[in-house]
Chains A and B, each alone.
Chain A
Amino acid sequence: MGMHRKMCVGTGDGVVLLKENDTKWELAGSSLPGKPIEDIVVLPNGSIFCGVPHDGVYSSSDGGAHWDRVIEIDVRAMAAALPLQPTTIYAATEPVGLYRSSDGGDSWQEIEALRQMPEEIQEQWFFPGDECHEGHVKTINVNPKDPMDILLGIEHGGVVRTRDGGLTWEDLSEGIEYLDVHVVNRDPVQDELFYVTTARGFYRSENGGHDWIMRQDGVTRDFFHDFVVQPGAATSLFLATANGSPPSWIRDGGSKSAIYRSEDGARSWQQMTGGLGNSLEPMVWGLVGDPEDDSRLYAAIGTGVWASDDRGDSWDQIYDGSSALRTLSVIA
């Protein structure tokens, strides 16, 4: 440790800024009170972007002191096209839609071809749990080696991909049984090795999403959410899981969530219990790696942020707040 990282934590009640001071993390501020933060992007110039559902994308260029709403959309996911396009940001919505800003958030354009996918594909985009019953984009994954190559995970809809910056789109959902897609990510080394979590499974595809194979040997939970593909001497995967689905977590024991690690490309998984115990009552909603240290990880668990500096073997709580955490972003 001994560095001076910063962390933006999205909560159900605004954004919390944490600062690392040698080996300790300190609260550096909080803002956007009352706004549920669904996703956060931080650009290399320090600008912070927060996505608020049913509201829009908020931007701050002064470390969170002042915020401007830069686009009014029902935003559900965000991503930056780093490292190759440091001023390009994506924001995705419900109903399924994707917007791009190439100038650091000043102007936005909708990528219209996504909504022009074949009707039989769009009929899969159906979220049976809110007023409009439309699916929404849950994850945007931009290829760090080729920003024209973008994957979208659609919650109740599947996975779609563009390789030309959004001009054309391909559906990659075949083989995923339950299309409640949560997170889609790709291997940092093998270009066409993709991973997906749905509410009911973890899938791996070695050929760019054309053949998905369920890979959860060793996982004793049945709800799957965030995961990290962590580079290093050997790529490791870290997976946040729980039992049942969110409505059932009001029972005793809560979500019974746990973090698992795989060091063989998801062929087998081992639960990480150091500091966490066998079962966590609150859900692990966020998992992120460290931008500079492959052995470090951070988890958003309930109202707290936990950190591990030994590839998940042991965990310590570094922050506890008053509002449920939803997403994390760490800046070196």
Chain B
Amino acid sequence: MAITERPWAPAADETLFWFRAASPLPARPRPLDFTLEVYALTGGLTRGLVSLNYPLYQIRPKLIDGELYVASVPSGIAEREPETKLGLLRDASLRFTRNIRGPWEKAIKPEVQGYSAWMAEDLPDSPAEVAERFRQARRVREMQWFVADRAVVGSFALLKSRLDDMPASAEGRDKVAAAVEDGAAVLKEAMQLIREEGGARLEDFVRRTSRRLVDMQVLAPGDIHWLEWREVRRALTEPGGWKAIAADRKTQAEKRTTASVPDEVGPNPGPTALHMHLVHEVLALLAA
């Protein structure tokens, strides 16, 4: 086991392989889409996969010419001891995939529904309280993605991979195949609750916050999407100048052309790279 003599740092953007993932995220997110929902989804996904010992540091989002790309960032811990990390992942694959439905029904589904209910609650009265609730909303949405990514999405990808690796005649393959079939049904339900219902609750939460800002004459209708998550909170407590910022960003975005958008940017490490392990498969599950 080699000792790393240098401090570890996450890879810089320019060294990473960026790709346009199949995912429920918008291809051209506006500033609020990017800093709220994209951050929440990639943050929750990162926590979920890392929790299952996927050998990566982070699923990082980035805008290139207004288009959304993601990259899987290598993990120093995993790269230091790849066999150990893959062993832990195999262990997770066996432990967490026997029964995806059980934990989902018992704990995860009510938790997911609880987060949607939180987003549907009435906004508080004071702008400062709304700003604080807007801060919490990203964590709530991130938690909603996280709990399902760990218990359902990441686990299902491991289970499916295990089945794909089993020879047709392997003992116990029927059981794994049945678990995959049931896991797929759980996955579908989870995505319905998080992607569709949770997404709708979040949109409505943003809409109500926007209405408050419009009533305060801080923003015009629809402007909220052209501010970033932090800026919306500041707009609630420090009104003034936000309409111009939103209008300028909207104009800039409209001028941007979409003529040639590459699917990939940066050096492709190939599908066998440790930090790319099942990443495309997981992202595809989120979009399925």
Contacts and interface: CB of A to CB of B under 8 A. Distances in A.
Interface of A: 119, 126, 128, 133, 174-175, 177-178, 200-201, 211-215, 217-218, 222, 244, 248, 251, 267
Interface in B1-28: 1, 3-10
Nearest to B76: A177
Contacts of B95: 248, 251
Contacts of A128: 47, 142-143, 146
B57 interface: yes
Interface of B: 1, 3-10, 47, 50, 57, 75-77, 80, 84, 88, 91, 95, 139-140, 142-143, 146, 230
Best-buried of A214, A244, A248 by chain B (most CB within 10 Å)? A214
A119 B80 contact: no
B1 A177 contact: no
B50 A178 contact: yes
Contacts of A119: 230
Which of B3, B84, B140, B143 has the most chain A CB within a 10 Å cutoff? B3
Contact of B77 (A126, A213, A214, A244): A214
B80 A214 contact: yes
A201 to B, nearest CB: 6
A217 B143 contact: no
A128 to B, nearest CB: 6
A303 B77 CA distance: 32
A177 B77 contact: yes
Nearest to A201: B77
Contact of A133 (B9, B50, B139): B139
B3 A217 contact: yes
A214 B76 contact: yes
B143 A175 contact: no
Most chain A CB neighbours (cut-off 10 Å) among B9, B10, B77, B143: B77
A126 B10 CA distance: 19
A244 B47 contact: no
Contacts of A267: 3
A133 B144 CA distance: 11
Contacts of B140: 133
8 contacts: A128-B143, A128-B146, A175-B7, A177-B8, A213-B3, A213-B7, A217-B1, A267-B3
A119 B35 CA distance: 14
A128 B230 CA distance: 21
A222 B84 contact: yes
Nearest to B9: A175
Contacts of A218: 1
B33 to A, nearest CB: 18
Contacts of B50: 178
Given A213-B5, A213-B6, A217-B3, A177 B143 contact: no
A232 B66 CA distance: 60
Given A175-B8, A201-B77, A213-B4, 13 more contacts: A119-B230, A128-B142, A133-B139, A133-B143, A174-B7, A178-B77, A200-B77, A212-B8, A213-B7, A214-B8, A218-B1, A248-B95, A251-B95
Nearest to B95: A248
A200 B143 CA distance: 21
A215 B143 contact: no
B139 A215 contact: no
The interface centre, meaning the residue of B8, B10, B76, B139 with most chain A CB atoms within 10 A of its CB, is B8
B47 A211 contact: no
A164 B95 CA distance: 48
A211 B139 contact: no
Contacts of A178: 50, 77
Contacts of B88: 222, 244
Nearest to B87: A222
A57 to B, nearest CB: 27
Nearest to B5: A213
B162 to A, nearest CB: 18
A214 B4 contact: yes
